[in-house]
Structures are given as structure tokens and as C-alpha cells.
């Protein structure tokens, strides 16, 4: 969101101020807290600091300009963001004006004080209109992130303090009233084409359940949207014949179970194949960060686990150094703990490649969304018994659909396909997974 | 005819009485035993006095650690003097409550009350039975210890905490049934004053309800003090004639000869004899049913404190008593239990406020946890109390501080700051520029809050 730089009021007597010099040019990056423009009143000079990180989008008042306090001097925002409209400018002006009467103490300290004192005063002027409201820190944050004007909320805390609960309730109420066609709005249209009875039915039906996007859902929503927005992802699919793998798994299961008290699942075998393929194709075990591609030697395998509340991706670190049995044990451990909500935050970050399995839901192929900033994610579908020509003979084979999404910014179709083919060749020569 | 009649003069009752009297009401308070209730007479205060004795004894015993040498290597515990000191504290405090009653013109009647109907009480005193009528009532009768089903209290070998506090000398061998707050506190005090203590707890950890890492910490410390701890264990039989406790542990059955058995398996609301049904007040085994205004099923009758179950802590009773009285006086007040500190006076102390880590992980995915050890704090080194840690739980979206647990020296004092953060709904980033006094233990708390966001300085 664009942030206006405003001529502060320095002291009670100040009516207007002068822009002495801009320290940044339009288009230049600025950091929060960095001085960007020197201004002066009749008595003192001070530096106005940037209130946010971003780019100086526009200078409204060039050096030498004399303007009343509250005037927008310039705008900070993200590149491409529109500059403030006149309405915003007017509003900011009005806010600063309403604050003027409150500024006595700060004004005096600014008039006599150092430039540090003055810059504090300037900030205080900008925030003053909201300062009179009693609100808890977390309530303020929730309101601000939702873009909700908390000055309108009646607080229920001690001495009318606005609590977290108050804000949550107010935001929910606002969402409900602002929601599309309410019964009253929908009714006139409905009556024109339907009987009033049916219109009433429709009105009654048109109250969807509204769930605020918060907590885990919010994190997932942001990350997935960011993933699709900020990478060039596409999906290729391939089928692997896992008939032999299933036979081998069947054969080894009792032995592995008696030796390790463990039953590796098909996913565990596939994970092992993926890890081996990643070791061969480092380009896939990578991330594009800012202006560079990082290739990783260590393979930290993310595995998507569905919980009631949403999806989490716990990470098995150094999966490349594990045998099938070790990998299986780790995968089982993280997914079991994910389901009991017992994962430490560190166990959910740092993956270099992710696998996701929708096979148990009967899905064949799909387009997994990259887990940023990773380059690849492999979707596992449901294996199906299919008649396949082996030479001239039709045989019953189990075919496993694999869906690989990769970031085309990092690598092209051919190397991605080569990676997927390597995964397939490991799956089709399952003994190799045991070494 | 009074405006308000209050039954029970413990923390909930006397606070309710003062609150109502200050609003100009005519208040009568009926107390069966002593003003101050369990807290002042048989609970918080006398046990903390004993604890201070245990601490002082340990300090003197180990004074060499600070370079203080004793001429003769003979330090002894004088139980008569300890009891006198403890009693003097109790007397001062109950005397204070008496004074407050007098100053606020609350009439105190010593006797036991029962409802005659929803508008009147029958009060049995030393001078006979009298009838008391009032506009509004507040029931604050507190709670009492629960006995083992197969072994009723005899006050001589099988005891509850109140019996125990009137002992003239401590038992050489003590079996404590229940490793909750009360059991752990008594174990900590008596083991440090020379008793050999055995705890039997049914759950897998001490302090069920608190986080396992914290409980494990306390378990280690108690064991170092010589306490034997049997978890996942239950007492099968208590044989009075042979003075033997039979405890079933995961390893088998243990028979322990004990000089006393302290049963600390919980407390239940004290409602017998009140005849609540005559007043039409609904109650269950868990206590009197109340709404958030502490109002019972009879709109003009309120209840507060342990009598209505819930959290059995004196400071909750204070708050509930005040809420009940303000509503009874026609104001509007709501219960607010957002930040109730929980203090456990063991050695080291345990204190917590808000959610435990277990609860917080259920509620928030990606919970941020900031921990800081006492061993990295200068003041803790000076005190030679480096065992312990603080754990701060921060939810990931707005960075609200949702729970803090401390285990270590002075934890019960430090938790006051933590409770303030929770009460004010602070966010961890709002604490970033906080200046903690140096050198103090409270720096640990600040470091852990910053650590939750990855910004600890000394961590």
C-alpha cells in the first residue's frame, strides 16, 4: 500500500513549512526509518523519515516549495503502484488538522529540541488521530492487517479498551453486512421473474457460511497464490510401471517388519526413487532466489500431509543420506507428528523438493503447485492395473501416474523430463532402491 | 433485613463483602471457622511460610557456596519455632481481614448457614439459631480435600493438607498420594526440611495439565532433593495397623512403611449442609452452576470461588468475588479469565500463564516458541540458581503472546510480568524495544520473548 509523506506540524504556531531538499530521487529505493526529505518551519529544521520500505514513487512538492502542514509531499510504495488520489491527500490533510490541537506538548519539545526529538514529534503527529483510542496491541494489529478502522469499535475491556475479541467480532459483523446480495437487495429482482414465495426461498438460501481466512488457511492461501504469481510453473506427466516394485515390496515386507518393526509404504519407495533421481539431477534440487539459482547438494524432502485444518509440509532433512528403511521411518514419524500437531516449526521449513500424494483419493494426474521457493514438486497418483503390451503379449501391469510441476525459469522441459524419466527408471528397477 | 448476605469468609467471600460494602450496601458475612478461608488459614499462606523456612535452611546449609563458613557444622530445624512463625503470619493476615471487615462495616457472624428458602438463611451460632433475611446472597463456601474411596481421612495417619499443617513435627517418612500442585509443594518443602518423601501419581507426569518438559524438569529437581517419584502408579491399599502403603507401579508393587500419608488428589466444592435446593440453586458435583456474571440459577443468588468449581486458585476467587458482588450491587461486571497465572511453589518454582505448549500447538499451526535458560543469565549465576528455563509461546499470524511458562528460581514472582503481557494482549514485536532492568532474572523473560521471533541477544 502506498504511504504518503506528509508535511508535519512542528509546534503550535506553525502554519506552513518549506521543503529544503529531497535526499532521494523518484524511483529510488527507501528503507523504513531512512531520512528522505529535509523540511523546515520558521524555527527549526528537521528530517522526515520514511514510514515504510519501498520506492519513492512520486515527489509532489519539489525543493523550495512552501506548503501548509498536512500536505502530501511525496509517496512511497511498491514499483508500479499508483500514486495517491486527491481524495487520499484531502483525508490525510484533515487528519493532520484534527491532530493539531493535540500536538501542544510535542510541538514545544520539537521547537526547542534536537532533530531527533523533532522527528519523534513528526511521527506522533501522523499517528495521533488513532492514539486516543484504547486498544490492545494484538487487537490493533488484527484491525490494521484487515484494513479495519478500529476507532469505530466500542471496547469491552477495562475502561472501554478494545480487546482482540472486540475486533474479531467487529470484523466478522462488517464482513456479514458487506457480503453480496442480502435478502433485501435480491428480493426486487427475484420478484420480477419468480413468485414471491420462491423469491423468499431464494433469499433464505442465499446466506452462505462465511469463514474468515485466518490462521493456517491464510498462510496456505498466501503461499499458494504467491507460488502461482511469482514463478513460471508447468506440469508434465509420465506413467511408471511399478508391478515389480509392488512384488518386491510384498516379498520384503515381512522381513523388514520383523527386523525394523516398520512397513514402508509405496510412497516411501517412491520417495526413495525421487531422492536418488534428485542426486543425479541437481538442477531439480534447487531454488530461484532473487537473481540467482541455488543448487543444493543436500536433499531435504518435503512431504505434503493433509490435516483437517489444511495442508502442512513437514520436511525430512538429509533424505539423500538415508536408506529406504531410514527414509520410511522418518516419513512416518513426521507425518504422524504432523497429524498430532507436534511438529516443531523448524521441521516444516527448508525443504528442497516436495512430494504430494493424491493417489489414495483416486486421483490420476494433477497439477501440483510448487512449494516456493523450490523448483520442483512431484505429484503421485493412484496406481491402476492396466493391460499393457509387453512385446506382443498383453500383460496385467500396475501403472503409476506421476505429475511433475517444475519452474521453467530454472530449467527447461527437456531436463525436467529427463529427471522424471530417471524417477521412472528407478521405480521400474526397484532393486536399485535398496542399494 | 440486609442488602447482601455472604456465606463463607475466604478470598471470594471477604472480597465480595468489601466490594459490596464500598458500594454502600448493608452486608453480613457468615463464617463457620476463621476469616480468610483455606488460603490464609490452611493453604497458600502457611505453606509459603514453611517454604521460606525450607529455603532458609537450605541456604544456611549450603552457605559455603557463597564463601560463608559456619564455625560449628551444626544447623538444626526447630519445629516449635517454625510453627510459631507460621502461626504469627496467619494471625497477622486473618487479623487484617477482620480489620477490613470492621472498617467497611461488614457484620461478621460466626456460625454455619443453611438456606431456609430463597430469601432467608438459618444460621447456627454458639448462641442458638437465628434467621437472616437479605435481598441478595453470595455463596462462597470454598472447597475441601477429596478422600481416597477406600481410605477416609483419620487426621492422624491418613491426612489432608490442613491436618498436615497442624503437625508439630514432620514425619520422618512421608507418602504423598497425588503429584499435582499440592503434592509437589509439600514434597518439596518436607524433603528439604529432612523428611524422606515418596510421591505416587497416577498420570504419566507430575503436574498433569502443565507441559511434559516442565514437569520433567521439576521431576529431576525433586529427585535430586531425594524425593522418590512413582509415575503411572496408584495406591492400592493403606494399612493403618502396620502403617504400610501399597503402591502399584509399572515395575511392580512396592510396600512402603510411612509415618504419615498425605492424600492430595484434588478438592471438591463444600456444599453439604447448605440446603441449596431449598433456595432453588442448581449445583452438580463440580460445583454451583453460574454464568459469566457469577449468577446462579436463582437470579438474586450469586456464587464465587471454589464453591462453583472451575479454577481453584485464590486469585481467581478474589476476581470472582468482586464480579459477583458488583453484579449483586446492580452494576454490570463480567468474569475475565484471560490471563490467570498458575504458581507452584516447589524448588525450583514453576509458574505459567495462558496456554500450555500442548494447548497452543493444537490451536495454532507453526507456533513460535522462544526459550531461554536461566544458566545464560548473570543474576541467576550470582544466585547460584541456574537450573530452569522460560518458554514463551507466540502465535504465528499476529505474533500475539499466548502463553508463558517458567521453571526456575523466583518463577512465581517473574510470572507477574508475563501475566501483565497476556492481560494487555501484547504481541511479541511490541516487546522488541522493551528495556529490562539489568542485572535481574526478569531479563530471561525479555530474551525469551525476543527469541520467539529469533531476536534474542544473549541466547
Q: What is the pLDDT of residues B95-154, one digit of tens each?
A: 999 999 999 999 999 999 999 999 999 999 999 999 999 999 999 999 999 999 999 999
A137-178 topology per CATH: Dihydrolipoamide Transferase (4.10.320)
**CA distances, B121 to each of A315, A403, B289, B321 (Å):** 66, 78, 20, 20
Nearest to A345 among B368, B397, B425 (CB): B368
Q: What domains can you pick out in chain B, each with its CATH number?
A: 2-144+268-328 (3.50.50.60), 158-263 (3.50.50.60), 342-452 (3.30.390.30)
CA of A341, closest CA in chain B: separation in Å?
Answer: 6
Q: What is the per-residue pLDDT for B159? A: 96
- Beta partners for A384? A399
- The answer to whether the Cβ–Cβ distance between A141 and B364 falls below 8 Å is no
Q: Does A164 touch chain B (CB under 8 A)?
A: yes
> Please, what is the end-to-end C-alpha distance for chain B in angstroms?
64
Q: What is the per-residue pLDDT for A127? A: 38
* Sheet strands (E) in B231-305: 234-239, 244-249, 252-257, 260-263, 267-269, 283-284, 287-288, 301-303
CA of B427, closest CA in chain A: separation in Å?
Answer: 6
User: Mean pLDDT throughout A37-49?
Assistant: 75
- Inform me whether the pLDDT recorded for B165 exceeds 60: yes
Q: What is the per-residue pLDDT for B201? A: 96
Residue ranges for the known binding site of B for NAD(+) are 178-185, 201, 266
Judge whether B346 and B206 are in contact, CB under 8 Å: no
* Sheet strands (E) in B55-179: 107-110, 112-117, 120-125, 128-139, 143-145, 158-159, 173-177
Q: Does A142 touch chain B (CB under 8 A)?
A: yes
Q: What is the per-residue pLDDT for A392? A: 87
Residue A176's pLDDT band, with cuts at 50, 70 and 90, is confident
Distance of CA A30 to the CA centre of its chain: 23
List alpha helices for A281-412, DSSP H.
324-339
The CATH class, in words, for A3-131 is mainly beta
**pTM given for the model:** 0.58
Q: What is the per-residue pLDDT for A86? A: 42
Instruction: Say how far apart CA B153 and CA B163 lie, in whole Å.
Output: 9
User: Mean pLDDT throughout B388-416?
Assistant: 95
The CATH class, in words, for A216-434 is alpha beta
Residues of B in contact with A348 (CB under 8 A): 366
- Inform me whether the pLDDT recorded for B10 exceeds 60: yes
Nearest to A137 among B364, B366, B426 (CB): B426
Bond into A426 cis (ω within 30): no
Domain residue ranges in chain A: 3-131, 137-178, 216-434
B438 is catalytic: yes
The C-alpha cell 508434465 sits at A236
Cα angle vertex B455, ends B453, B457, to 5°? Answer: 150
Residue of B nearest to A214 (CA): B397
3-state SS class at A24 = coil
Residues of A in contact with B334 (CB under 8 A): 156
Q: What is the per-residue pLDDT for A122? A: 35
Residue ranges for the known binding site of B are 48, 178-185, 201, 266, 306
Hey, what's the cell of A323?
536408506
> Number of C-alpha atoms within 13 angstroms, CB side, residue A98?
11
**Which ipTM was obtained for this model?**
0.72
Instruction: Say how far apart CA A289 and CA A99 lie, in whole Å.
Output: 44
Judge whether B369 and B393 are in contact, CB under 8 Å: yes
**Higher model confidence: residue A350 or residue B27?**
B27
Instruction: Say how far apart CA A4 and CA A22 lie, in whole Å.
Output: 15
Buried b (16+ CB within 10 A) or exposed e, B68-94: eeeeeeeeeeeeeebbebbeebbeebb
- Inform me whether the pLDDT recorded for B436 exceeds 50: yes
- Inform me whether the pLDDT recorded for A199 exceeds 60: no
The C-alpha cell 483419493 sits at A361
User: Mean pLDDT throughout A231-249?
Assistant: 94
Q: What is the per-residue pLDDT for A90? A: 42
Question: To the nearest whole number, what is the mean pLDDT of chain B?
Answer: 94
Q: Does A139 touch chain B (CB under 8 A)?
A: yes
For CA atoms A408, A410, A413, A419, the dihedral sign is negative
Contacts of A372 (CB under 8 A, 6+ apart): A223, A226, A227, A230, A231
Q: What is the per-residue pLDDT for B148? A: 94
Residues of A in contact with B361 (CB under 8 A): 341-342
Residue A44's pLDDT band, with cuts at 50, 70 and 90, is low
Q: Does A337 touch chain B (CB under 8 A)?
A: no
Q: Which of residues 376-415 of A touch B (CB under 8 A)?
A: none
Q: What is the per-residue pLDDT for A368? A: 95
Residue of B nearest to A219 (CA): B397
Instruction: Say how far apart CA A55 and CA A62 lie, in whole Å.
Output: 17
Residues of A in contact with B365 (CB under 8 A): 215-216, 219, 307, 309-310, 312, 341
> Kind and range of the H or E element at A193?
helix A183-193
**Higher model confidence: residue A73 or residue A181?**
A73
Residues of A in contact with B398 (CB under 8 A): 138, 141-142, 145
Q: What is the per-residue pLDDT for A13? A: 61
Q: Does B361 touch chain A (CB under 8 A)?
A: yes
Residue A119's pLDDT band, with cuts at 50, 70 and 90, is very low
Catalytic: which of B163, B300, B438, B455? B438
The residues of A carrying an active-site annotation are 408, 412
Amino acid at each position: 500500500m502506498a504511504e504518503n509523506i506528509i508535511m508535519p506540524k512542528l509546534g503550535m504556531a506553525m502554519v506552513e513549512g518549506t521543503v529544503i531538499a529531497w535526499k532521494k530521487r523518484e524511483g529510488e529505493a527507501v528503507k523504513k526509518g531512512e531520512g528522505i526529505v529535509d523540511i523546515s518551519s520558521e524555527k527549526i529544521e528537521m528530517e522526515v523519515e520514511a514510514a515504510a520500505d519501498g520506492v519513492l514513487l512520486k515527489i509532489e512538492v519539489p525543493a523550495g516549495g512552501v506548503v501548509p502542514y498536512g500536505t502530501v509531499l511525496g509517496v512511497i510504495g511498491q514499483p508500479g503502484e499508483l500514486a495517491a488520489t486527491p481524495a487520499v491527500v484531502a483525508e490525510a490533510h484533515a487528519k493532520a488538522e484534527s491532530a493539531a490541537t493535540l500536538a501542544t506538548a510535542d510541538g514545544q519539545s520539537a521547537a526547542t529540541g534536537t532533530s531527533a526529538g523533532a522527528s519523534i514529534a513528526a511521527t506522533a503527529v501522523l499517528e495521533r488521530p488513532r492514539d486516543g483510542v484504547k486498544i490492545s496491541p494484538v487487537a490493533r494489529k488484527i484491525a490494521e492487517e484487515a484494513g479495519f478502522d478500529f476507532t469505530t469499535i466500542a471496547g469491552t475491556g477495562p475502561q472501554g479498551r478494545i480487546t482482540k475479541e472486540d475486533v474479531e467480532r467487529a470484523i466478522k459483523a462488517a464482513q456479514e453486512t458487506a457480503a453480496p446480495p442480502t435478502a433485501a437487495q435480491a428480493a426486487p429482482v427475484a420478484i420480477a421473474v419468480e413468485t414471491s414465495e420462491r423469491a423468499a426461498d431464494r433469499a433464505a438460501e442465499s446466506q452462505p457460511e462465511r469463514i474468515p481466512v485466518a490462521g493456517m488457511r491464510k498462510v496456505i492461501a498466501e503461499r499458494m497464490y504467491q507460488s502461482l504469481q511469482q514463478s513460471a510453473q508447468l506440469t508434465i506427466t509420465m506413467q511408471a510401471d511399478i508391478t515389480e516394485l509392488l512384488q518386491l515390496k510384498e516379498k520384503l515386507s515381512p522381513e523388514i517388519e520383523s527386523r525394523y518393526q516398520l512397513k514402508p509404504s509405496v510412497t516411501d519407495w517412491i520417495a526413495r526413487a525421487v531422492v536418488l533421481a534428485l542426486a543425479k539431477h541437481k538442477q531439480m534440487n534447487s531454488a530461484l532466489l532473487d537473481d540467482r539459482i541455488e543448487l543444493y547438494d543436500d536433499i531435504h524432502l518435503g512431504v505434503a500431509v493433509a490435516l483437517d485444518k489444511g495442508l502442512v509440509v513437514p520436511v525430512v532433512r538429509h533424505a539423500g543420506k538415508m536408506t529406504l528403511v531410514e527414509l520410511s521411518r522418518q516419513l512416518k514419524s513426521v507425518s504422524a507428528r504432523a497429524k498430532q500437531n507436534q511438529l516443531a516449526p523448524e521441521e516444516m521449513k527448508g525443504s528442497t523438493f516436495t512430494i504430494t500424494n493424491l493417489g489414495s483419493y483416486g486421483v490420476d494426474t494433477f497439477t501440483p503447485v510448487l512449494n516456493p521457493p523450490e523448483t520442483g514438486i512431484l505429484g503421485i497418483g493412484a496406481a491402476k492395473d492396466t493391460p499393457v503390451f509387453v512385446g506382443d503379449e498383453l500383460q496385467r501391469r500396475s501403472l503409476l501416474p506421476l505429475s511433475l510441476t517444475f519452474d521453467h525459469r530454472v530449467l527447461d522441459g527437456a531436463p525436467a523430463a529427463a529427471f522424471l524419466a530417471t524417477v521412472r527408471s528407478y521405480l521400474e528397477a526397484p532393486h536399485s532402491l535398496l542399494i | 433485613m440486609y442488602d447482601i448476605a455472604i456465606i463463607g469468609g475466604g478470598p471470594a467471600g471477604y472480597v465480595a463483602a468489601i466490594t459490596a460494602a464500598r458500594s454502600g450496601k448493608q452486608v453480613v458475612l457468615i463464617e463457620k471457622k476463621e476469616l480468610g478461608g483455606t488460603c490464609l488459614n490452611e493453604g497458600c499462606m502457611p505453606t509459603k511460610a514453611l517454604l521460606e523456612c525450607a529455603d532458609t535452611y537450605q541456604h544456611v546449609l549450603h552457605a559455603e557456596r557463597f564463601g560463608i563458613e559456619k564455625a560449628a557444622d551444626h544447623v538444626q530445624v526447630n519445629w516449635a519455632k517454625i510453627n510459631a512463625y507460621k502461626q504469627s503470619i496467619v494471625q497477622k493476615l486473618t487479623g487484617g481481614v477482620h480489620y477490613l471487615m470492621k472498617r467497611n462495616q461488614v457484620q461478621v457472624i460466626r456460625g454455619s448457614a443453611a438456606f431456609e428458602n430463597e430469601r432467608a438463611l438459618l444460621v447456627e451460632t454458639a448462641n442458638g439459631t437465628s434467621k437472616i433475611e437479605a435481598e441478595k446472597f453470595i455463596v462462597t463456601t470454598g472447597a475441601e480435600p477429596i478422600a481416597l474411596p477406600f481410605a477416609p481421612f483419620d487426621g492422624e495417619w491418613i491426612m489432608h493438607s490442613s491436618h498436615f499443617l497442624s503437625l508439630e513435627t514432620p514425619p520422618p517418612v512421608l507418602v504423598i498420594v497425588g503429584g499435582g500442585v499440592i503434592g509437589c509443594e509439600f514434597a518439596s518443602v518436607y524433603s528439604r526440611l529432612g523428611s524422606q518423601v515418596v510421591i505416587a501419581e497416577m498420570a504419566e507426569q507430575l503436574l498433569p495439565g502443565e507441559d511434559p518438559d516442565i514437569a520433567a524438569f521439576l521431576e529431576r529437581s525433586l529427585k535430586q532433593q531425594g524425593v522418590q517419584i512413582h509415575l503411572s502408579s496408584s495406591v492400592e491399599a493403606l494399612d493403618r495397623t502396620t502403617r504400610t502403603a501399597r503402591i502399584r507401579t509399572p515395575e511392580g508393587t512396592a510396600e512402603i512403611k510411612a509415618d504419615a500419608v498425605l492424600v492430595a488428589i484434588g478438592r471438591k466444592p463444600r456444599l453439604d449442609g447448605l440446603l441449596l435446593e431449598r433456595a432453588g440453586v442448581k449445583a452438580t458435583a463440580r460445583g454451583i452452576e453460574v454464568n459469566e456474571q457469577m449468577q446462579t440459577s436463582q437470579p438474586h443468588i450469586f456464587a464465587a470461588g471454589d464453591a462453583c468449581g472451575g479454577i481453584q486458585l485464590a486469585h481467581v476467587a478474589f476476581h470472582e468475588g468482586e464480579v459477583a458482588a458488583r453484579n449483586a450491587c446492580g452494576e454490570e461486571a463480567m468474569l475475565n479469565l484471560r490471563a490467570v497465572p498458575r504458581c507452584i511453589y516447589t524448588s525450583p518454582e514453576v509458574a505459567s500463564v495462558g496456554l500450555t505448549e500442548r494447548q497452543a500447538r493444537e490451536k495454532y499451526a507453526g507456533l513460535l516458541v522462544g526459550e531461554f535458560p536461566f544458566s545464560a543469565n548473570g543474576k541467576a549465576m550470582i544466585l547460584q540458581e541456574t537450573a530452569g528455563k522460560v518458554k514463551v509461546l507466540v502465535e504465528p499470524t499476529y505474533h500475539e503472546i499466548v502463553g508463558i511458562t517458567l521453571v526456575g528460581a523466583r518463577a512465581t514472582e517473574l510470572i507477574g510480568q508475563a501475566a501483565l503481557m497476556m492481560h494487555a494482549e501484547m504481541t511479541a514485536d511490541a516487546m522488541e524495544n522493551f528495556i529490562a532492568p539489568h542485572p535481574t532474572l526478569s531479563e530471561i523473560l525479555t530474551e525469551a520473548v525476543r527469541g520467539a521471533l529469533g531476536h534474542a541477544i544473549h541466547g
